[in-house]
Amino acid sequence: MNKHYRIDTNVIHTENKPDPDYGVVSTPIYPAVAYAFKDTDTASSVVSGEKNGIYYGRYGNPTNRRLERKVAQMEGGDDAIAVSSGMAAISISLLGVLQHGDHVLVTRDVYGGTFSFLSNLAPRFGIEYDYVDLTDIENIKGYIKENTKAVYIETPSNPRLTILDIDAIASICQYKNLKLIVDNTFMSPILQKPLKLGADIVVHSATKYINGHGDVLAGLVVGSKEEIKFMRKNIMGDLGQCLSAYDSYQILRGIKTLSIRMKKHCENAQKIAVYLEDHPMVESVYYPGLQSHKGHGLANKQMKDMGGIISFELKSNQYEEIGKDFIDSLRLAMISFSLGDPETLVQHPASMTHYSIPSKDLPKYGLSKSLIRLSVGLEDVDDIINDLAQAFKKIELKFNKVK
């Protein structure tokens, strides 16, 4: 990354080197499985790690390396690995720092896939975990055990957009010799850089904003050279979670427009959040760009902008299904589990992304059946607002009948 260039220039030019043989500007796709060596000693030194190189497709390829180096530089890390999904990135990051008998503290407001991994797979590995309200820094100290090895957070969180103080949490982790892992998916490296705030490892679902076009399933882990080397060889490679060369090429292409996409996502989301906050049928809006958001001040401190995700709750009273009915009434917004696409996407966390959380436990994790998550797209913002408005009218009629 050229330090003389600003981020908008670097997301285009970093690792975007013309092909040495033909001068091609686009990154070549190397769908290689096998790699040839001049002799057995060279092959042996690459396998052992004494020499840099790739010896088998399960551990990467040259297209992946372009993507990995680019994202590592964008995040301010030493190295990165590109893997087959966001959940692959999350699981690799956790398994990279935890082993049998270890304990991890996890932010209470967390993505449903992470919750599912911890509930279903962590116990099989003998890994213990506790969900903690990390908006209160003192809670970290109270929950640390002798076998605690890491703290795992999302900020902003999925789906309530809780903002956590990365710098303050990192300071405690460093003092207690704990690894701090931050899921930076909602922000992308454009809007937040956790490593510069003291985090050790950053994970992304590259399926979302980094790729940005809804046509690739991918994950990224960024950290120190030693950590990434261990994860590549002993976890990603052994579990077969490598990303394909074609998908890496797609993401490299998507990254070139990441800066301008994030600006539009943020601009649209801010206007929609203001609209929702003023609507009489809305109980609460969770968007850090609003002054009413508890983390507004902290967000301004550690984030460049507020992102493209809004969550909000409708005034449901006794009508539990109002969230689902509202979503079903939308015409422009598409019902989808994903986010970060050009299209506006909407989902019902309690029954979709966070379905693995039992209904009776939803309040414990700050969730309700009237909560809606909106991934604001790149459409004209007035069209998105008009779609919301017509859905509100339909729900108001049905809501009044139920009352």
Annotation marks residue 58 as catalytic: yes
Residue with tokens 């993505």: 111
User: Average pLDDT by consecutive 10-residue portion of the chain (403 residues)?
Assistant: 78 82 86 92 91 90 96 97 98 98 95 92 96 92 96 96 98 97 98 98 98 97 97 94 97 97 98 97 96 98 98 77 90 95 94 76 77 96 98 84 57
CATH class of 258-402: alpha beta
Which amino acid is it at 314?
Answer: L
- At the top level of CATH, the class of 7-30+61-255 is alpha beta
Give span(s): CATH 3.40.640.10, the chain: 7-30+61-255
> In degrees, to the nearest 5, what angle opens at C-alpha 229 toward C-alphas 223 and 233?
135
Q: Is the pTM of this model over 0.85?
A: yes
Q: Of these residues, 30, 59, 111, 287, which one is catalytic?
A: 111
Active-site position among 51, 58, 264, 304: 58
Residues of the chain with CATH 3.90.1150.10: 258-402
Q: Which of 65, 70, 179, 208 is catalytic?
A: 208
Which listed residue (109, 165, 183, 341) is catalytic?
183
